[in-house]
Structure 1
Amino acid sequence: MATDCYNLSHWYLKENMDYEVSHIYNRSRGMILFGFNEIVIDLLNRQIEEWMIMDAEEHARSVGMKFPSKMWYGLIKDMKGYIPLKVEALPDGSWVPKGTPFAQVTNTEEGYGELVTWWEGVFLHSYFPSGCATEAMYLKRYLMERGTDTNKFHSFGFRGHRSMEDAYWAIKAWNMVMEGTDDFHGLQHTPNSNMSTIPATAHKTIQQFDNEIDAFKHAIDKVSEKGQEAVSLVIDTYDPWNIINNHLTDIIDYAQEREIIPVFRPDSGDIKEQAKAIYEKADLHAKGYPPFCGIIIGEGMDRKKIIEFDNYFKENNIPLQYISYGIGAGFYKHIDRDYLGFAMKTAYSNGKDRMKLTKSNPYKQSIPGYVNIVNDNGVMTVDYTKHGLYEIVYEMDERSSRPKYNRVSWCDIAKRVNLYTDPKVPLQEEIVLSPSVEQKKKEFRKRYL
């Protein structure tokens, strides 16, 4: 039932369902492909049973539709309930230029062509993990351009997610290239990651004390007792300027005596001005030595805002090594299906190559026929060949007793992603079509336009 209602009518709206081929594209922008491998395998590596068909029939009737039961019962008889599809794709972790047919889905047995797009909606859900991996990669590239430690960005994202599924994908993407995180649950999903964090006060810990300064000193003492090295101190529970103007240097001295680095967190008001004042006051107090403190900013941050803040700090001669950022929903809230332009389009059906031509919007045009992606002297190119960069994700046919699939480990995906985090590595902006593919599209334009 993980399909769109209109698929319930396609089996009789088509002339036949013998064989079909479809491609999945990122039509809006280049990306890091992530999550597709896991989503496809978890979805397709199962057996269809009669009770599932009966359940779907009942629900179809409730919306005035007729379920294609014959096809599904045939699948149980012919394939022991396994799904006769072949899914090929670029490897997870790959850089994928805009407009690439990054995945290709075909049916392996005659008469099951409708299955090619039956789970289109689920396949396209990989837009979110791919979007998160892409954003994480760009953040890491910026950090490396910035020239500071790569732990200067910290994930504050857990509480802003719409679901645990989104939280799962976002932290797996983040941990591939980042270290700092507040997302404790990420440890169970990425046990081999280099996650790091520090103790941090919250408004609830400050509010326990009648005196705010006592709360800071207590936090510093306890962190020292635990043998830790730093603590984040949120300063806006009452009046951040009171802390900055009247107590900052005393807190720094108290922490330095105990060899604990205080990381001040301005969290409301004019945060840039507060951060500037914290650094300038700490710098003056240090009397020529490096200021003994750090600053972390986590209020409404995203990549664009971080760059804006960094430019402000550089203009005011504040070394960026003292500035860290906590990034919450700004990491992922802009990522919807349109962000990457995920779409699945038919390339072969009813015995012929097919394409969506869309004269009114060339952005939505697809590529006809069975293809592959090749590396043509360093340029990713679509061509008509069976040999290329596609890898088989899932495959099942009547000659197999069980599906074959290639589950790629998170560690291997992370290694591949990190090849692109170096800002010196060029990222191909758009996919290139081979002369033969361009010729085929030209023939379609001549025929239909």
Structure 2
Amino acid sequence: MYNLLLDTDSYKASHWLQYPPGTDSMFSYAESRGGRYPATVFFGLQYILKTYLSQPLEQWMVDEAQAFYQAHGVPFNAEGFTDIVQRLDGRLPVRIRAVPEGSVVPVHNVLMTVESTDPKSFWLVSWLETMLLRVWYPTTVATQSYYIRQLIYDYLVKTADQPDEEIDFKLHDFGARGVSSCESSGIGGMANLVNFKGSDTVQGVLYANRYYNCPMAGFSIPAAEHSTMTAWGRSREVDAYQNMLQRFAQPGKTVAVVSDSYDIWGAIANLWGQKLRQQVIDSGATVVIRPDSGDPKTVVMRCLHLLEDAFGTVKNTKGYKVLQHVRLIQGDGMNPQSIADVLDAMMQQGFSASNVAFGMGGALLQRVDRDTQRFAYKCSSINIDGDATPVFKDPATDPGKRSKAGRLDLIIDKTGYCTVALEGQAQHDQSVLATVYENGTLLKEYDFEAVRATALKT
């Protein structure tokens, strides 16, 4: 069973002994201190709160933690945690306020604040840092896919007739096998779904459905993998493709077929473009050809020209070519830069972005870390004998790590989001932070569609 008292860093077990005498309150905040992107899409706190902070502390947790830390070599505040169990019924005496999930907030602004509500256990604010700061992961995944969405959408606006109808399915999540755990698959896959609706990461869809009250957050289609193609043997490659058409190609439906098991150029020119051409057309389906090796830009462009030769194109109202009956999905080697390279090459050669969708795996869910957006959780205020004392760090060796001081809030003024220090107020009159958790109770929930609406309104 999960034990919150073992979900922290070892050195935090001794921290209750290190604060100034008379300390009775603590206030900390989380922010992105900069990084790859100029803003962050805040997401995933609700999952953390529901999963890890909705269960009251119990005495067995204290006993288990005491035995562990004693053997581990660090002191442990068994008396303090037992007091929370007995006097507060195990409910954690902290208040967590945060921006609405899905908010796109410029870096260097407060995203979440955590403050103590009980003077005897003020140190709990620091204890929770390890677990709460993991919000960096879903936030960073959501942020990266948000900017990829903007990138693809810009090309759709330039080259497609219906960009708003197409964008939701232009980036497909293939990341489940490329992450470190089942939970990473769920958290990261859920975060990408804030921006896109196509996913083969089942856990991500389930997490969004379960933790954000969504009937169905993501969708997929029948698609081939190499084993289902190579099982037929090279001499029967066309039979493998024909089987896909017979099984799944129906009017108005979409089916994807990986076609680079042997020779992608021959597969398109001779099999799809000749032997199966009329069957594809007559099916009424959209057949999506998937190359899965080689330089993405080179491969996509050559595939587009071969498919154009076989199935033809029509020019849309913006003067760009759109394939008939078929499309491409490029899922190998995709990252923000390679997607941009492919889209730019397509536009330069007169092809609409409508012709291609992208898949991302490890680069989407795994090739990020806490430093991608430089996430930090810092104490900014304590009370000593009832007197508020702003605190901060300001290392001479790295000015970028200077932290904020005081009890903080986030507002929107005429310039946009702005972090402010409070002067004796519990919160600013124009605060955009909502109290989502207080004294062991989840106070506010967001539905997934509301999160999407918040993220995509900008």
The alignment's TM-score, normalised by the length of structure 1, stands at 0.86
Structure 2 residue identity aligned to 1:306: I
CA 218–404 in structure 1, closer or farther in 2 if over 3 Å, else same: closer
Q: Note if 1:178 corresponds to 2:184.
A: no
Q: Distance in 1 between matches of 2:89 and 2:174?
A: 46
SS, match of residue 231 in structure 1:
strand
CA 67–187 in structure 1, closer or farther in 2 if over 3 Å, else same: closer
SS, match of residue 136 in structure 1:
helix
Structure 2 residue identity aligned to 1:22: S
Q: Note if 1:303 corresponds to 2:327.
A: no
Tell me the residue number matched to 1:424: none
SS, match of residue 125 in structure 1:
helix
Q: Distance in 2 between matches of 1:118 and 1:291?
A: 59
Q: Write out aligned runs for 1:97-112 (5 A).
A: 97-112=106-121
CA 156–22 in structure 1, closer or farther in 2 if over 3 Å, else same: same
Tell me the residue number matched to 2:379: 346
Counterpart of 2:293 (choices 268, 286, 310) is 268
SS, match of residue 19 in structure 1:
strand
Q: Write out aligned runs for 1:421-436 (5 A).
A: none
Structure 1 stretches lacking a partner, 5+ long = 397-401, 421-449
CA contact 1:192–1:411 (8 Å) conserved in 2: no
Q: Write out aligned runs for 1:282-361 (5 A).
A: 282-286=307-311, 290-349=323-382, 351=384, 352-361=389-398
State the 1:171 CA deviation.
2.1
CA 72–279 in structure 1, closer or farther in 2 if over 3 Å, else same: closer
Tell me the residue number matched to 2:228: 205
Q: Write out aligned runs for 1:36-435 (5 A).
A: 36-147=45-156, 148=163, 149-150=166-167, 151-189=169-207, 190=209, 191-193=214-216, 195-210=218-233, 211-224=236-249, 229-250=253-274, 251-286=276-311, 290-349=323-382, 351=384, 352-385=389-422, 386-387=427-428, 388-396=431-439, 403=441, 405-420=443-458
State the 1:269 CA deviation.
2.7
SS, match of residue 397 in structure 2:
coil
Q: Note if 1:4 corresponds to 2:9.
A: yes
State the 1:129 CA deviation.
0.4
SS, match of residue 193 in structure 2:
helix
Tell me the alpha carbon deviations over residues 226-263 of structure 1, each in whole angstroms, 9 at most, x when there is no partner.
Answer: 66623222121122232234333212222112223322
Tell me the residue number matched to 2:19: 14
CA contact 2:286–2:325 (8 Å) conserved in 1: yes
Range moving further from structure 2, 127-136 or 348-357: 348-357
Q: Percent identity?
A: 24
What value does the CA root-mean-square deviation take over the aligned residues?
2.1
Q: Distance in 1 between matches of 2:85 and 2:34?
A: 39
Tell me the alpha carbon deviations over residues 7-30 of structure 1, each in whole angstroms, 9 at most, x when there is no partner.
Answer: 122122222341111111211242
* Displaced runs of 4 or more, over 4 A: 286-290
Q: Distance in 1 between matches of 2:92 and 2:176?
A: 35
CA contact 1:38–1:407 (8 Å) conserved in 2: no
The alignment's TM-score, normalised by the length of structure 2, stands at 0.84
Structure 2 residue identity aligned to 1:392: T
CA contact 2:175–2:361 (8 Å) conserved in 1: yes
CA contact 1:25–1:101 (8 Å) conserved in 2: yes
Q: Distance in 2 between matches of 1:203 and 1:276?
A: 22
State the 1:378 CA deviation.
4.3
State the 1:193 CA deviation.
4.4
State the 1:118 CA deviation.
0.4
CA contact 2:269–2:310 (8 Å) conserved in 1: no
Q: Distance in 2 between matches of 1:287 and 1:144?
A: 25
Q: Distance in 2 between matches of 1:84 and 1:222?
A: 58
Structure 2 stretches lacking a partner, 5+ long = 1-5, 157-162, 315-322
Range moving further from structure 2, 248-257 or 363-372: 248-257
SS, match of residue 377 in structure 2:
strand
Structure 1 residue identity aligned to 2:220: T
State the 1:381 CA deviation.
1.4
Q: Distance in 1 between matches of 2:61 and 2:312?
A: 74
Range moving further from structure 2, 402-411 or 59-68: 402-411
CA contact 2:185–2:365 (8 Å) conserved in 1: no
